[in-house]
Structure 1
Amino acid sequence: MSEKQESKAALKATGTVGGGQVINILISLIRTKIIAIILGPSGVGIVGILTTATEMIKNIAGFGLAFSGVRDISIAAAKKDDIEVSKIVKIFNKWVLMSALLGGFITLVFCLPLSTFLFSDNSYTFGIAFLSISIFFTTISSGFQAVMQGKRSILMMAKSAIVANLISSLFSVLLYLQFKEDGIVPSLIITGFINFVVSYYFYRKLAIPDFGKIALSDSWLGAKGMIRIGFFTIVVSVFDQMAGLGLRAFIADKTNVEGVGLFTAANTIATMYLSIVLGAMASDYYPKLSSIHDDNKKLHEAVNSQLYIVLLLASPIIIGMVGFADIAIRLLYSAQFIGAVAILKWQVLGDFFKIISWPCGFVFLAKGHGKLYMSYSISYTVIYMSIVYFGWDYLGFVGIGLSFFIAQLVSVLFTYIYSYNKFGIHVSKSNLKVIAVFILLLTFAFYSQEYLSGTFRLFLSVLALVISIGYSLYHLNSIMDVKGIINKILKR
């Protein structure tokens, strides 16, 4: 397959769920805006702390199955071996159920020490205990989503996410309106249950044949490979979650819970907008890499095609977010959160290097190099946290965003240097040209936000954004008839 054909295939796969991702993000943005108005920085900070804590427990108990299972299912599906697929899914679901029960149990046992660690008192002991219900349902829901992803039923995944997000957002807003901060825990529980019900409904549509009974010994043999790879992803996830909790505790100690709310706002925006592109791509990209993991030439083509598409789709968003960081905070949250701009502009700048390393980072997992993935991921987190901790007295809030930027820069250098030496994967000349153009435009946008004010700042920010959009559309049109698609939409 030529580079152009590979890029076209990648763009089509992204477009399949891209619309769904946009809808999902819009729902989340509206929910976030309403919650920010109702709860303020303090309430948003509590939501962020509890969400991070539950995610950490879910990851500890999950053995990384939700990620590693995708690899095994996609490899079997690529061989068109329905019997093997049904066997893997049967084993996978059995172990996901056990991990869901384990996650709920861990939450119940450690609810008191968690409350003390996170809030310096026992005020959320019972709240965290009740979140064991949420962890149980979200773990099983993640398993259903993993099966859909492994089967590359991408459109079904998108529909499931939209429906679950819409329904859970409505319930969450009603609870926050009625109970304010007391509605946080019930909201998280209901969200988990809704995700379970909706994902199960769409999972059943896959109509995967029941493999029949599998002995526990056979189940262990089948799950051992998933757990082996999943172990490394789970170590990374848990380490990241613990670092995230530690960072929030550090910020709360240095400022207060409102400071955590500002960090949560910046982090949510930086993550949310980028997931429009990366979320759509990852759904199909990782299963695809897994199916060609033993062919370095095909991997090289796939990585560069994915990098080309992600640069063209995500860079204009990044440039816009850098140039209009203050407006984004006011629009998506409120004027109370304006202090988050100091973090957001540097973190978004780091996101540019994140999207460059992102396509190549998946290769480590697709090839089953779990130790390598774990080592480089933990090293990234250590660099990030170290700069925040040791630089706080000099940089304050800015240091959180700046440390993210530096850590992402180190990450992208390591990822491609190692991949070139080990697998022969490198950034193509065409991608290097695209990267150079967007770095130039990003520099203009950042300079205008950091050092200018008034009309001239607005002019440079708008100019950089418009040029980046035009540049992206020009290159996307060489892959697909973007102009023709736009004309068709306008004629409707």
Structure 2
Amino acid sequence: MKLLKTTIFSGIITFVKIASTFVASKVVAISAGPAGVAIVGAFTNFITISQTFANGAINNGVIKYSSEYNGDSIKLKTLISTSLRITIYSSIISGILLILFSGFISSIVFMNELYVNPIRLLGLTIVLTSCNTLILSVLNGLGEIKLYTFVNAIGSIISLIFTVTLVYFYNVIGALYALVFSQSIILLVSVILLRKKAVLRLFFNVQPIDKTIAANLSKFSFMAIISALTMPLVQIIIRNFLIAKVGIDESGYWQGMMRISDGYLMLITTSLSTYYLPKLSSLKTNGELKTEIYNGYKVIIPAVIVSCGLIFLLRFLIIKVLFTSDFISMEKLFIWQLLGDIFKICAWVLAYLMLAKAMTKLFVITEIIFGLSYIIITYFCVIKWGVLGASIAFAINYFLYLLAMVIIFRKKLSKNE
């Protein structure tokens, strides 16, 4: 599976996801304004955290070992059976906790208890979402990129339909319900689309949990939990801090900027997750790793720089098309956010080595350090520059993260084979 081929298929996924996400954002922006965008963003972050715990945080491990065991049917069946059991058990526990503590969670995530019912619904349906995520991880690891692309694209379209419909009838609360419903329905779609494929039959070969495979997956679980907790929690903290310091509308501008950033970078991040993780996992020598990273930079970095340049030049049009005229003040955030995005992707090309090679300790340390530094830098920057300071802090933090990745991996990859 070549990087260019993967990027093309990733581009298809990304186009559909971006279109779906931005249409949904436009509907929410028109219906509920900047405050509604901030609320939906908070719930999106929380769902990311919840889903990570609900599937046992094993997705990256499943991708890695599915890639390694491709061709060995016995090991592959054992991997999938063990992963499925872990996913179901973790989902049940997570669902119960979400239902029992829905009021407390709502007060933390939304700063009030008005949204307990969407959280309870998430608890009831999260096992369905987790099983679908597991299926997609296996498709990714096995290199079934066409199937992976198709299932993802259909899922994004379904999510868009639910969002537009429920926001039309129920405003912001409808958007929250849509986030939960659409994720659950996608499992049914995946099963229908894959019903005649050999990969789906692997999930019906139920075996006891294999302790060795479970132990290997646990290394990735710890990294995934730290990753899933760090950035969404950091964004929740920053969002609440912005609401307290500059108001919920200003927080909505920042959330809108983050959505634009996440949207156009989805092509790059999807390529990294679908290509780099299984590819880097399969490479054994430092020479091979350095060559692959160099080739990745030749394709990815020019694409990011060109994208950022175009987005900056078209920023006023983008705001009007994706949001409303109420969001025009967010244009001042673009330059720093886009600069931070360039630093972010440059760093991530290197950072994926930590996932591919299960560098658990290093991954955890860097995630925590730079999560905390983002909060601290944001605090001082917002005090000085208001909401603009949040974007400045984003750029500063990812520049420091890139420096750290370069120093760490220059030393590691320069060692003898």
CA–CA distance in 1 between the matches of 2:205 and 2:130?
23
**Of the two structures, which has the highest relative contact order with CA contacts closer than 8 Å and spacing of 6 or more?**
2
AA aligned to 1:65 is I
Match of 1:41 in 2: 34
**Structure 2 counterpart of 1:359, from 332, 336, 349:** 349
Instruction: List gaps (5 residues or longer) in structure 1.
Output: 1-7, 426-492
Match of 1:282 in 2: 273
2:53 corresponds to 1:71: no
AA aligned to 2:221 is G
AA aligned to 1:223 is A
Match of 2:394 in 1: 404
> 1:134 Cα shift?
4.5
Q: Is the 8 A contact 1:144 1:203 kept in 2?
A: no
- Alignment partner of 1:63: what SS? coil
Q: Is the 8 A contact 1:25 1:276 kept in 2?
A: no
CA–CA distance in 2 between the matches of 1:13 and 1:182?
37
Structure 1 residues 453-472: aligned runs within 5 Å: none
> 1:331 Cα shift?
1.9
> 1:272 Cα shift?
0.4
TM-score, normalising length: structure 1: 0.79
What do the CA deviations read for 1:113-149 (whole angstroms, capped 9, x no partner)?
1122233332222332222134333222211111111
> 1:202 Cα shift?
4.1
Structure 1 residues 70-149: aligned runs within 5 Å: 70-77=63-70, 80-149=71-140
Q: Is the 8 A contact 1:145 1:203 kept in 2?
A: no
CA–CA distance in 2 between the matches of 1:381 and 1:154?
32
> 1:238 Cα shift?
0.9
2:21 corresponds to 1:31: no
Match of 1:349 in 2: 339
Match of 1:419 in 2: 409
Instruction: List gaps (5 residues or longer) in structure 2.
Output: none
**Structure 2 counterpart of 1:222, from 184, 204, 213:** 213
CA–CA distance in 2 between the matches of 1:364 and 1:40?
40
Match of 2:315 in 1: 325
What do the CA deviations read for 1:222-244 (whole angstroms, capped 9, x no partner)?
21210122212212221222212
AA aligned to 2:115 is Y
CA–CA distance in 2 between the matches of 1:203 and 1:389?
48
- Alignment partner of 2:265: what SS? helix
Q: What do you get for the CA RMSD once the two structures are aligned?
A: 2.0
2:242 corresponds to 1:261: no
Q: Is the 8 A contact 2:53 2:225 kept in 1?
A: yes
> 1:245 Cα shift?
1.4
Match of 1:252 in 2: 243
Q: Is the 8 A contact 1:325 1:345 kept in 2?
A: no
CA–CA distance in 2 between the matches of 1:261 and 1:302?
39
AA aligned to 1:36 is A
TM-score, normalising length: structure 2: 0.93
Q: Is the 8 A contact 2:20 2:159 kept in 1?
A: no
> 1:44 Cα shift?
1.4
Q: Is the 8 A contact 1:144 1:200 kept in 2?
A: no
Q: Is the 8 A contact 1:138 1:192 kept in 2?
A: yes
Q: What percentage of aligned pairs have identical amino acids?
A: 23
- Alignment partner of 2:74: what SS? helix
CA–CA distance in 1 between the matches of 2:118 and 2:11?
36
What do the CA deviations read for 1:406-430 (whole angstroms, capped 9, x no partner)?
11111111112111111229xxxxx
> 1:203 Cα shift?
4.8
Stretch deviating more after TM superposition (250-259 or 64-73) = 250-259
AA aligned to 1:29 is F
Match of 1:439 in 2: none
> 1:336 Cα shift?
0.9
What do the CA deviations read for 1:420-466 (whole angstroms, capped 9, x no partner)?
111229xxxxxxxxxxxxxxxxxxxxxxxxxxxxxxxxxxxxxxxxx
What do the CA deviations read for 1:278-334 (whole angstroms, capped 9, x no partner)?
313421221111111x22111111111111110232221111122332332222111
Higher-Rg structure is 1
Pair 243,203 (structure 1): closer, same or farther in 2 beyond 3 Å: farther
CA–CA distance in 2 between the matches of 1:295 and 1:199?
37
Structure 1 residues 348-387: aligned runs within 5 Å: 348-387=338-377
CA–CA distance in 1 between the matches of 2:59 and 2:197?
17
CA–CA distance in 1 between the matches of 2:325 and 2:380?
29
Q: Is the 8 A contact 2:7 2:271 kept in 1?
A: yes
What do the CA deviations read for 1:167-193 (whole angstroms, capped 9, x no partner)?
221122011111212313321222112
Structure 1 residues 119-198: aligned runs within 5 Å: 119-198=110-189
